[in-house]
């Protein structure tokens, strides 16, 4: 355990308060801050102070030091495209009333802005609302500016950009007509009660993306159950692609889209009474992996292009298929019937943080050089781990952490795809290959210190995705 043992009580309190599993570098930095802040109090006295009303400012400061505020407009456009076609469009058609949407852990509000645009585009009732909440009041103040850099706007499809954003100095801001449908509220997902949907009856949609990945397994499970209880019948919970559920609460059904999973509370079922008391055992990440050690190279039935990752590339090009763009590709446009039940995705990626000092970013950041640095560090850890035989679950966790810092890290996505594929999680693997391809084709993927250049990587991703999709079609 890093850091001084004397602070362990305070750390445990912060973990319980935020739900977050602290990484070793986080602990180290937290301890430094604690030494500076406690000013002569013993750790126990300082803990008492933090628990008291007088300690609120210190508590906020410590929490701000722990949380990761990375977010983006139209983050994960592949998932959003699936959300639009499979969830939102049918929901708008079904519910002829204003929709109530909640973005839990919204950071600086880009997800709220994205949801407002999606609702408007889907023709939702103009009385529809989006609530954004976060544990950090500081990021919410930033969210209320509704102001985005040009770089952030690059992710927004051009026609939506001109329709919903207006130039304001060096920045662009969201149109006032959309802004007034949103509200922000400071809320800790570990605290009760949870926000009420306007008019009661639960939220139609809850987004809680890239929040639970930092939580302990127990906090993850409890939060999912509480979020499920906050849904209206027929409502949908959207987690990030990095946060598939191993144990789906009984109140939810998995709706398996082509490249995304959604969790739906069936119509006409009573919500569980006391979801908060349940700390389901064993939600934790560790699905038994076929064998220890992410060798990068698949262990069984090696896909033909996998070896390009680790050895001299030997496969030639195949035509790269077009990546999914937003708005929806024709292939994804056919709305599935929400509520369709499918087997749950196999593995949860629990947050047990890796060597990730970026967990201590107090300031909201789009993808900053710091975030890139973190992503590259984590990626390097994975490559080192692959050489020394760390378990697949650790590689998977580090790759997902890396991608939470740089979602367009195409090499990391491709490696994640390979790892998932060798764990026989073909649908998830296809999604990752497609996402990598999309980042590459949109020119968002940075060249990273790696032995595949972007062109070759694009071909490898296209190859892999096509191979998996065609074997799925044959089945
Ligand atoms: C990485 S950001 C995700 C932002 C956005 N949902 C997205 O996917 O782009 C995670 C956010 O979760 C918030 N968070 C962390 N722990 C929380 C908690 N216990 N309750 C509410 N928000 C929390 C952090 O403050 C941070 O802003």
pLDDT digits (tens, 9 = 90+) for 116-129: 999 999 999 999 99
What does the pLDDT read at residue 449? 59
What is the pLDDT confidence band of residue 447, given thresholds at 50, 70 and 90? confident
Note whether 221 and 283 are within 8 A (CB). yes
What does the pLDDT read at residue 392? 83
Mean pLDDT over 437-451 rounds to: 80
What does the pLDDT read at residue 2? 45
Alpha carbon distance 352, 198 (integer Å): 35
Best of 61, 211, 224, 359 for a ligand 1 pocket test (most atoms within 8 Å of beta carbon): 211
What is the pLDDT confidence band of residue 20, given thresholds at 50, 70 and 90? very high
Residue 75 has φ and ψ, to the nearest 5°, of -65, 130
For residue 135, report the distance from its CA to the centre of ligand 1, in Å: 7
Residue 262 DSSP class: E
For residue 71, report the distance from its CA to the centre of ligand 1, in Å: 9
For residue 70, report the distance from its CA to the centre of ligand 1, in Å: 8
Strands of the sheet containing 147-148, edge to edge, are: 147-148, 171-174, 165-168
Q: What is the pLDDT of residues 325-336, one digit of tens each?
A: 333 222 222 222
Judged on CB neighbours under 10 Å (0-12, 13-18, 19+), 474 is: exposed
Q: Is the confidence at residue 208, as pLDDT, over 90?
A: yes
353 CB under 6 A from ligand 1? no
Alpha carbon distance 213, 352 (integer Å): 8
223 CB under 6 A from ligand 1? no
Lowest mean pLDDT across 218-222, 241-245, 344-348: 344-348
Of residues 91 and 362, the one with the higher pLDDT is 91
Name residue 185's beta-bridge partners: 133
69 CB under 6 A from ligand 1? yes
Mean pLDDT over 272-279 rounds to: 32
- What percent of the chain is modeled with pLDDT above 90? 47
Cis-peptide, bond into residue 227, ω within 30° of zero = no
The tokens describing 253, both together, are: 């059904």
The tokens describing 192, both together, are: 């009760």
List the one residue out of 369, 445, 360 whose CA is nearest residue 410: 445
What's the predicted TM-score (pTM) here?
0.68
List the one residue out of 289, 279, 309, 293 whose CA is nearest residue 349: 289
Note whether 50 and 90 are within 8 A (CB). no
CA angle 112, 102, 204 (to 5 degrees): 125
What is the pLDDT confidence band of residue 285, given thresholds at 50, 70 and 90? very low
Best of 79, 134, 371 for a ligand 1 pocket test (most atoms within 8 Å of beta carbon): 134
Q: Is the confidence at residue 279, as pLDDT, over 50?
A: no
What does the pLDDT read at residue 446? 84
Of residues 81 and 472, the one with the higher pLDDT is 81
Q: What is the pLDDT of residues 187-197, one digit of tens each?
A: 999 999 999 99
């Amino acid at each position: 355990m890093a850091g001084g043992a004397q602070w362990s009580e305070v750390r445990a309190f912060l973990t319980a308060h935020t739900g977050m599993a602290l990484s070793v570098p986080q602990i180290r930095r937290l301890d430094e801050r604690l030494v500076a802040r406690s000013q002569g109090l013993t750790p126990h006295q300082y803990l008492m102070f933090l628990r008291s009303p007088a300690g609120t400012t210190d508590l906020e400061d410590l929490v701000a030091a722990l949380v990761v505020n990375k977010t983006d407009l139209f983050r994960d456009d592949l998932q959003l495209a699936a959300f639009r076609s499979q969830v939102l469009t049918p929901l708008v058609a079904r519910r002829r009333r204003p929709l109530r949407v909640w973005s839990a852990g919204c950071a600086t509000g880009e997800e709220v802005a994205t949801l407002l645009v999606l609702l408007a585009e889907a023709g939702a009732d103009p009385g529809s609302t989006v609530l954004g909440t976060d544990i950090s009041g500081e990021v919410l103040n930033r969210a209320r500016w509704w102001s985005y850099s040009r770089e952030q706007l690059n992710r927004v499809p051009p026609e939506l950009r001109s329709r919903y954003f207006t130039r304001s100095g060096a920045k662009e801001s969201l149109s006032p007509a959309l802004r007034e449908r949103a509200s922000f509220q400071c809320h800790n997902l570990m605290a009760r009660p949870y926000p009420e949907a306007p008019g009661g009856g639960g939220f139609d949609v809850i987004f809680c993306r890239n929040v639970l990945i930092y939580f302990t397994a127990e906090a993850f499970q409890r939060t999912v159950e509480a979020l499920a209880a906050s849904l209206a019948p027929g409502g949908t919970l959207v987690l990030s692609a990095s946060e598939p559920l191993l144990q789906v609460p009984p109140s939810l059904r998995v709706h398996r889209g082509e490249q995304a999973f959604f969790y739906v509370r069936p119509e006409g079922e009573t919500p569980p009474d006391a979801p908060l008391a349940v700390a389901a055992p064993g939600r934790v990440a560790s699905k038994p992996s076929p064998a220890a050690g992410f060798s990068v190279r698949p262990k069984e039935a090696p896909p033909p292009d996998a070896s390009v990752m680790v050895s001299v590339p030997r496969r030639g090009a195949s035509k790269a298929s077009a990546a999914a763009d937003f708005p929806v590709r024709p292939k994804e446009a056919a709305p599935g019937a929400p509520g369709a039940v499918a087997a749950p995705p196999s593995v949860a990626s629990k947050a047990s943080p890796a060597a990730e000092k970026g967990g201590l970013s107090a300031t909201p950041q789009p993808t900053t050089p710091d975030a890139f640095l973190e992503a590259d560090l984590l990626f390097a850890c994975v490559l080192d781990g692959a050489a020394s035989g760390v378990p697949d679950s650790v590689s998977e966790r580090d790759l997902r952490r890396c991608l939470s810092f740089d979602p367009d890290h195409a090499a990391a996505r491709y490696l994640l795809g390979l790892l998932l594929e060798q764990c026989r999680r073909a649908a998830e693997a296809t999604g990752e290959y497609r996402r990598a391809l999309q980042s590459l084709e949109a020119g968002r993927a940075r060249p990273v210190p790696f032995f595949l250049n972007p062109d070759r990587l694009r071909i490898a991703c296209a190859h892999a995705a096509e191979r998996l999709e065609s074997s799925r079609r044959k089945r």
